[in-house]
Amino acid sequence: MKVALYWTAALVLAAGILASAEDMPAKSTPLAQLIAEAEANNSQISAADHSSKAATYVAQQVTTLPDPQFTVQQLSVGSPRPFAGFSNNNFAYIGFGASQDLPYPGKLRLKGEVADRQADTQHAQADQLRSLVDEQVKLVYLRLAYNGATVAILQKNDAVLQPLIESGLSRYSVGQGSQAEVLRAELEHTKLLREITMHHQEMGQLQADLKQLLHRSQDSEDITPEQLSATPLRYTSEELQALVQDHNPSVHTDVSAVQKQAAQLKSAQRDGKPDFNIAYMFQQTGADFPDYYMLTLNMKLPRHKRAEGEVEEATEMLHGSKQELDSQMQQQLAEVQKQYVAATTTEKLLKEYQEGLIPQSQAVLRSEEAAYQSNKQQFAPVLSSLLDVLSFEHDYQQALLDHEIALAHLETLTGATIR
């Protein structure tokens, strides 16, 4: 009997624990944790890092002397048979030689500088990709948080609407209300359910995008973002503009491209100089004849027309890279200004919603509800006031999302930590 009681108590306790666990909300994950995870696991970032690392090994290849050549010769006299005439003719011999190409001094060093600048460009491109992935994680995370907050608002307003529908049905059943008003309220209820379903659909798609960026399995547990809150912008427009040149990843990439083209021009100018080849051969003859020793020095003169064309090409490429850098700088500065305007404007909007529109609309709704409950008001004004509250709360969340997205873009553009 006691055993049965113990088992019953244990089952009740276990059921209570499980029910409590199901009721507990999922623990939210900080954005910084997800960004670190993306940088560690994202396949695109990993591939770019490997390409960047591979580029650092090019310089040691192009700065090394060309491969030496080793030669073995055998000259027969009087017959094509090997070693024919070796013992009775001083022209027959077996020779052993080596040769080495020697580029004009400075050519290899300049090629190494070009390779180093190319490696810098690859590294800048990897950093640019990393910042873009970070930005994508931020944007998906923010939209997840926005959709979660919007669903909560819709559910809260629907919870207010349903008792009103029931009250309207009760009044209509005793001839005190309008059927049209009840049908309108039920229509709004259905529209709220549709909006909730649509937001859940978008949240599912955003979860898939976020897991892909984090390199997580699509079957893994969904990620719960932290609640959206307004982050104050503590930088002026001038301060943000000043950060672009030193910290913008796109500008860094174009700066590296200009430096690489400048090194390429110097290398092309030096390529017009002659290259050399030195060779040495020992030729052993028969025992009755003296051996031969041969030293050869060759010089290769580049054709002027080709060398001049390479210099002109490198010059034009350098001018083009500088113009692309200037264009990129102007584009990034303009984008910083646009995002700054968006952030400061939405800050004002958020204040207007928090201090004016939302509390005022809620006060109107409470007043309309009180009048409706005391039979001093029709149902239509109550429904209209409820929809105003819903609209303003939704618009507030949209303005909050726009504000945080603008700050996320500014972080990418300037390299500053804002959020």
Residue type, 3: V
Using CA atoms, how far residue 389 sits from 163, 345, 353, 361, 363, in Å, is 17, 22, 11, 5, 10
Give the tens place of pLDDT for each residue, 183-240: 676 777 788 788 889 989 988 999 999 999 999 998 999 989 999 888 998 999 999 9
C-beta atoms surrounding 311 within 10 Å: 18
Domain boundaries defined on the chain: 28-68+105-274+305-414
Residue 103 CA, distance from chain mean position? 42
Q: Is the pLDDT of residue 39 over 80?
A: yes
Give the tens place of pLDDT for each residue, 350-370: 898 888 887 888 787 777 767
Q: Which fold has domain 28-68+105-274+305-414?
A: Outer membrane efflux proteins (OEP) (1.20.1600)
Using CA atoms, how far residue 202 sits from 4, 156, 222, 242, 363, in Å, is 50, 20, 13, 37, 32
* pTM score, whole prediction: 0.82
Give the tens place of pLDDT for each residue, 369-381: 677 666 656 666 7
Give the tens place of pLDDT for each residue, 313-361: 999 999 999 999 999 999 999 999 999 999 999 999 989 888 888 788 8
Cα–Cα dist 44/353, whole Å: 41
C-beta atoms surrounding 31 within 10 Å: 18
pLDDT at 12: 42
Provide the sign of the torsion angle of the four alpha carbons 327, 328, 333, 335, taken in this order.
positive
**Burial classification of residue 401, based on how many CB atoms lie within 10 Å of its CB (0-12 exposed, 13-18 middle, 19 or more buried):** buried
Cα–Cα dist 182/82, whole Å: 113
pLDDT at 378: 67
Half-sphere exposure (CA, 13 Å, Cβ side) for 278? 4
Using CA atoms, how far residue 347 sits from 146, 172, 231, 234, 399, in Å, is 16, 45, 9, 12, 8
pLDDT at 335: 94
Span 268-289, average pLDDT: 93
Q: Which two tokens stand for residue 417?
A: 């930590």
